[in-house]
Chains A and B, each alone.
Chain A
């Protein structure tokens, strides 16, 4: 029991590290491609690619626990929630609504109470960025 819990915690931290590294590496590739494309110039801060990169970091830190590394709603804490966390890859919500859910939480919108309100924790830019990231992994976006 004791060992299992410790392993679970270590695995969770390891997974978070992997998620962060994966997101960062995707962003780094995009960053490198963009850098080559514009002849060494930095990725513009207000570009969509930059927002997705930053949003991936926010996601890996705050959202991955419930929504999972694949954003499919299968995070390690998903089993605690009924209804389960949303599969963000299949969401049909627009950016404004996703931003509202992130900001105000699920309960305020008559949805799952397990989704906390993030407005106290995340800046407006972080919320905008994480919406950009969610949009980038959404199947209907492609």
Chain B
């Protein structure tokens, strides 16, 4: 492959928004999220890892992208990709005191 063609392919991949998507992990431990707020970019994926011995749940009622990841036990992880920008309030249906904010920049 000619160097210039290879360069073009690399440039195309780098320009793709999904290639820049980041991955973040939030721990759920002692009935609390490991962070109160998280700043990410649209297209980033956030994994919620249950580090407790009991079940947790993740849901958000934010209008831009309401979702419910359901209930999952200790040691398990569920993730969601934030395709849209906005301020997302994340909650656990089982532990109402668990709340965090994810700010998604365009």
Residues of A participating in the B interface, judged by any CB pair closer than 8 Å: 1-2, 4-6, 8-9, 12, 16, 61-62, 65-66, 76-77, 79-81, 105, 113-114, 116-118, 120-121
Contact = CB atoms under 8 A, between A and B. Distances in A.
Contacts of A118: 94
Those 6 A-B pairs whose CB atoms lie nearest each other, nearest first:
A120-B54, A80-B68, A116-B71, A2-B87, A5-B87, A1-B86
A65 B89 contact: no
Given A61-B96, A114-B68, A80 B61 contact: yes
A2 B105 CA distance: 11
Interface string B42-62: 000000000000110101011
A117 B93 contact: no
Given A5-B88, A8-B89, A81 B54 contact: no
A100 to B, nearest CB: 16
A81 B59 CA distance: 11
Contacts of B54: 120-121
B93 A116 contact: yes
Interface of B: 54-55, 57, 59, 61-64, 66-68, 70-71, 85-89, 91, 93-96, 99
B91 to A, nearest CB: 8
A121 B95 contact: yes
A120 B57 CA distance: 13
B37 to A, nearest CB: 13
Contacts of B95: 121
Contacts of A6: 87
25 contacts: A1-B63, A2-B86, A4-B63, A5-B62, A5-B63, A5-B86, A8-B62, A8-B63, A9-B99, A16-B96, A62-B96, A65-B96, A79-B66, A80-B66, A113-B70, A113-B71, A114-B70, A116-B55, A116-B57, A116-B93, A117-B55, A117-B71, A121-B54, A121-B55, A121-B95
A5 B54 CA distance: 29
A120 B55 contact: yes
Given A1-B87, A65-B96, 19 more contacts: A1-B63, A1-B64, A1-B85, A2-B86, A5-B63, A8-B63, A9-B89, A9-B99, A65-B91, A65-B93, A66-B93, A77-B59, A79-B61, A79-B66, A80-B59, A80-B61, A80-B68, A113-B71, A116-B71
